[in-house]
Structure 1
């Protein structure tokens, strides 16, 4: 890749319908094509965009789950190849032994490059999914070094630090952020955490949320693309609803970890002082 060439990233804030994968494939294809038509080279979809999120139980999730060679990833592979783009999207993955994972695939013109399984499960997800136990992948693509994680993973700074230390330039995170009350005029805490993670790692982050009431659950609708200084370059959109957020980023900026003449975010780390966090050295 040409590290000096800007890259256009899109977050497609959609409303998947739980229990209707065929509909969800149509919605995702429309959004991916629209984003690519507007110049996107990296397209991020929400968490569990293939299946919907609010399952009644594990049996329902299992009935909706797909393997990596299922119709959704086949569709996304065809679109990535046709359009010459990278797609990062969430899906309910069927595992061996009638288990399911909350997963996200990174796909480019050559096919599926990585599948990440959510390591930190949120609330009722613990009753449905098998947690992943592998670090976020960092994939060298035509547009940059891209890492993947999912939603609640972003609340663990040690986890975000791993791909940053591994040389990731852009972290793509499919998310489904359930709405919760917050003080007037305050930004969603989820968005603040994304900005903080980007800033303390000098790492670009694209977090793609969803919209649409699903079985009584509403969403933050906080999709955001954040630069390596921690400032939003696109989103969150105040009006909510379906959105395609676009930002053109110079991912080479993520290589500069200096924040002052005498400070370097990685070299200043003192992991021997951090107890268990020293394992990240």
Structure 2
């Protein structure tokens, strides 16, 4: 496995409820990224279905299993192009619920499915929250962890894949636009940078663009290095965007930040009052 990997964020605009259209624009973005040399490709949150559902019943009509058309397409493209694809989809659950999920697919098939654990605003009325920590998957291009959007606002959650050896977090996101002071970066991007820096790992957060049922988006896709500095993005411009960055993932394996400091070895969990997964 080469230490250097080319990562792409494919900032597209899915249409809520238009599954065939969403597959088409996803395929176009994936092929375009692969033509530009990308090996790891990230699509937005709920790229398969769109995001702003009216209610649970609408979400159920748009949900798919891991064997549904979207993941079948991603599997075929990953196999044909020799890439890793991470994308968000509305997952149909056995008990009739739905999850806000992300899949990691490579040439061998579906390697992992992660269900968003921290639900944002109206998502709480539609989705069943995930209960499993972010998976960390060994791929041909690096050790990749999956998270989704609001998950990135919980430092304890980001720490889990860092401690499990993740080199890169791929995070499909849909960041709703909100007011902010002039000249300030989106707070969502700042949090991604902070998470990357305090864990010394890379993060690729793929946002979306467009307008959906009264919601506009930050359009803040960003690829951040292990020191917390953006390598690509955020562009914050309208329209489809392809962000590309070449990452030396070996840097994420070195947690030393000074002669006498190591980010993992310096942790003192007994002082933090944290138990369970964080102990």
| TM-score of the aligned structures, taking structure 2 as reference length | 0.99
The match for 2:167 is: 169
2:30 is aligned with 1:26: no
Q: What is the root-mean-square deviation in Å for CA atoms of aligned residues?
A: 0.8
In structure 2, distance between residues paired with 1:237 and 1:124: 27
- Count of equivalent residues: 279
2:263 is aligned with 1:265: yes
Instruction: For 2:36 and 2:88, locate their aligned partners in 1 and report how far apart those are by CA, in whole Å.
Output: 22
1:127-151 CA-partner distances (Å, limit 9, x unpaired): 0000000000000000000000100
> Deviation of residue 239 (structure 1)?
2.3
Indicate the residue corresponding to 2:155 in structure 1. Answer: 157
Cα distance in structure 2, aligned partners of 1:143 and 1:83: 14
What is the CA–CA distance in structure 1 between the aligned matches of 2:174 and 2:243, rounded to whole Å?
16
> Is 2:149 the counterpart of 1:138?
no
* Among 27, 35, 38, the residue aligned to 2:36: 38
2:162 partner SS = helix
Structure 2 match to 1:83: 81
The answer to whether the Cα contact below 8 Å between 1:13 and 1:45 also exists between their aligned partners in 2 is yes
Give distance in 2, aligned partners of 1:106 and 1:67.
Answer: 14
Shift of residue 278, structure 1, vs aligned partner: 7.0
Q: Tell me the equivalent position of 2:91.
A: 93
- Give the match's secondary structure for 1:236: coil
Kept in 2, the 8 Å contact 1:87–1:108? The answer is: yes
Matched residues in 1 for 2:154 and 2:263: separation? 18
2-structure distance, mates of 1:105, 1:86 = 10
8 Å Cα contact 2:6/2:244 also seen in 1: yes
Q: Which runs of 4 or more aligned residues in structure 1 lie more than 2 Å from their structure 2 counterparts after TM superposition?
A: 238-241, 276-279
Residue 245 (str. 1) matches residue 240 (str. 2): no
Cross-structure match for 1:219: 217
Output the TM-score relative to the length of structure 1. Answer: 0.98
Provide the residue aligned with 2:45 in structure 1.
47
Specify every segment of 5 or more residues in structure 1 that has no aligned partner in the other structure, as ranges: none
Distance apart, 1:96 and its partner CA: 1.1
Secondary structure of the residue aligned to 2:133 is coil
| 1:216-241 deviation digits (Å, cap 9, x = unpaired) | 10000000000000000000014242
Shift of 1:34: 0.1
Q: 2:59 maps to which residue?
A: 61
Question: 1:178-189 residue pairs with structure 2 within 5 A?
Answer: 178-189=176-187
The answer on whether the counterparts of 1:201 and 1:228 sit within 8 Å (CA) in structure 2 is: yes
- Gap runs ≥5 in structure 2: none
- Alignment pair present for 1:104 and 2:102: yes
Matched, 1:114 2:86: no
Give the match's secondary structure for 1:276. Answer: coil
CA distance in 2, matches of 1:178, 1:172: 19
